[in-house]
Chains A and B, each alone.
Chain A
Amino acid sequence: MIITGSRESPLLVYITALIALMLTLMPLPRSLGVLWPNLLVLVIIYWSMMMPRAGGILIGFLGGLAIDVFVGSQLGQHALALSLLCYLGIRLHLLVRAKPLFEQALFVLAALLIYEGVLWAIDGFSNQSTGTWTRWLHSFTGAAIWPLVAGLLGRLHSPR
């Protein structure tokens, strides 16, 4: 990465994604677990907008596949949803990146709702339990902590 002089570091993306995955999977008491944001998704949204070339859509696919394996859902379910978010992030990165954090959080909320919506639709298509309304809650907490996530990750790479 240093050789190419690129500021986009895939290593940074993969390491932060792995840490976020572990934090996401942490066993929590039920009331907190419902509200616990999916940090892996937030981190992947962040990198797909800030470093669209470092991880690409591949990081979304791999991250989603990891969630599938860990939570025991159908292989490919989270992978599809997260690839879609990566695609949207890369597509809209110039638009969203320039916005203030508050407006970014609204975009993130929409993205997280799309993510959960895709999962919900796949659950429905494959005749699995679609859960209760509480499954949507993490989208809102995720959007609420977006400024924090963006601030923390922003310190890890030099802003252009």
Chain B
Amino acid sequence: MAFAGGGLNSPSARDTAPGPRFFVFAVLSILLMYFDQRDGWSQRIRYVLQGAAYPVQVAVGSPRLLWNSTVDLFSTRATLRRENTELKARERELSLTAMRFAALEQENARLRGLANGLPPLVKRSQLADVVSADLSSQRQRLVIDQGDRAGLYRSQAIVDATGLVGQLVRVGPWSAEVMLISDPGHAVPVEILRNGVRTVAEGTGNEDEMRLSLLPATADVKAGDTLVTSGLGGVFPAGIPVGTVVEAVRDPDDILARVRVRPRASLARDRQVMALWFNPESPMAPVDSALVRELPEAPLARPVLEPPSPVAKVTKP
């Protein structure tokens, strides 16, 4: 190392003056951050780095996988049998529901005046194993073991058996990163199943909690309400279960209701998730975001949250 530097003085010079080197790296970091904010070639760098990072992610996640498979190995005959009967019961229930669903779908198509039934919403799905999870207060992400090679794409919807999990934010060659619906930077357009009231469910940085922050205090919402995706926003289709309202607090001093929601999907405990491809012909499919971009600017509804204007003062004598 010392010889590579050249003269005898160079190591000690490097020792005493790390300033210029720090300056170079600091500038490099800031440039990286600047370009990472914009889409472009930094996406390509990410893609390569994500591919390089995948083996380490697998290694890091392997103790948990090993533990899980060990537990599976030693699960007794009795537990397996119990699980089997439970699953069979559930299967019967589901097939009954599916039958009813098929009838409803046909009726729906008839009401819409379509001769042959509606095209199915989900065109294709792909199971993926969760390789690692990052569940902190600033970031709620999963890494899954399928990526670009399996055809996954950015902002794809990810679900599990019970409900919405999140969307893909980065896709590497063999892996992809899921932003969970509980990520503090994530918001899902939802509607209350009971009455169709539309709002937005935001993540809080806690995988067991979300909140509805844009509901006025007068909105009809109560504990136990089920929330499903509303299909607005162009990422998720309509009707995927998102969560259940745990608590709705109305503060008389506040114009907004404080509503806490528990996500339906078991975000922190999922071992497998599913990526979905939607049939664009289905009326439930998310609106193509390219189409949204062609629309004229501004008609998107924004909640008006201005403080009450001081009209009362004027009427004073």
* Contact count band on B: 35 or more
Residues A86 and B139 in contact in the complex (CB < 8 Å), given A70-B53, A74-B36, A75-B36:
no
Number of interface residues of A (CB under 8 A): 52
Q: Does B26 contact A (CB under 8 A)?
A: yes
Please provide the chain A residues from 104 to 160 with a CB less than 8 Å away from any CB of chain B in the complex. Answer: 122-123, 126, 128-132, 134-135
Q: Does A58 contact B (CB under 8 A)?
A: yes
Residues A57 and B21 in contact in the complex (CB < 8 Å), given A52-B15, A90-B15:
yes
In the complex the two chains form, is A56's CB within 8 Å of B14's CB?
Answer: yes
Q: How many A-B residue pairs have CB under 8 A?
A: 141
Q: Which residue of B lies closest to A53 (CB)?
A: B11
Interface of B is mostly: helix
Please provide the chain A residues from 40 to 57 with a CB less than 8 Å away from any CB of chain B in the complex. Answer: 52-54, 56-57
Q: Does A39 contact B (CB under 8 A)?
A: no
Query: Hey, which chain A residues are within 8 Å of B31, CB to CB?
Result: 76
| Shortest distance between the CB of A111 and any CB in chain B (Å) | 14
Q: Specify which of A25, A33, A56, A122 is in contact with B18 (CB 8 Å cutoff).
A: A56
The distance in angstroms between the C-alpha atoms of A64 and B64, with both chains bound, is 25
In the complex the two chains form, is A129's CB within 8 Å of B53's CB?
Answer: no
Q: Does B252 contact A (CB under 8 A)?
A: no
Query: Hey, which chain B residues are within 8 Å of A80, CB to CB?
Result: 25-26, 29-30, 33
In the complex the two chains form, is A72's CB within 8 Å of B169's CB?
Answer: yes
Chain A to chain B contacts (Cβ below 8 Å), 22 pairs = A8-B1, A22-B59, A25-B56, A26-B63, A27-B61, A30-B268, A34-B136, A56-B18, A56-B21, A57-B25, A69-B50, A70-B53, A72-B170, A77-B29, A79-B28, A86-B22, A122-B33, A123-B138, A129-B184, A129-B185, A131-B184, A135-B137
In the complex the two chains form, is B139's CB within 8 Å of A71's CB?
Answer: yes
Q: Which residue of B lies closest to A9 (CB)?
A: B1
The distance in angstroms between the C-alpha atoms of A135 and B37, with both chains bound, is 23
Q: Which residue of A lies closest to B134 (CB)?
A: A71
Query: Hey, which chain B residues are within 8 Å of A52, CB to CB?
Result: 15, 18
Q: A76-B32, A79-B25 are in contact. List 19 more A-B contacts (CB 8 A).
A: A25-B56, A25-B57, A26-B63, A30-B135, A34-B137, A52-B18, A60-B25, A69-B46, A70-B56, A77-B29, A79-B29, A79-B32, A84-B22, A87-B19, A91-B18, A126-B37, A129-B138, A135-B137, A135-B138
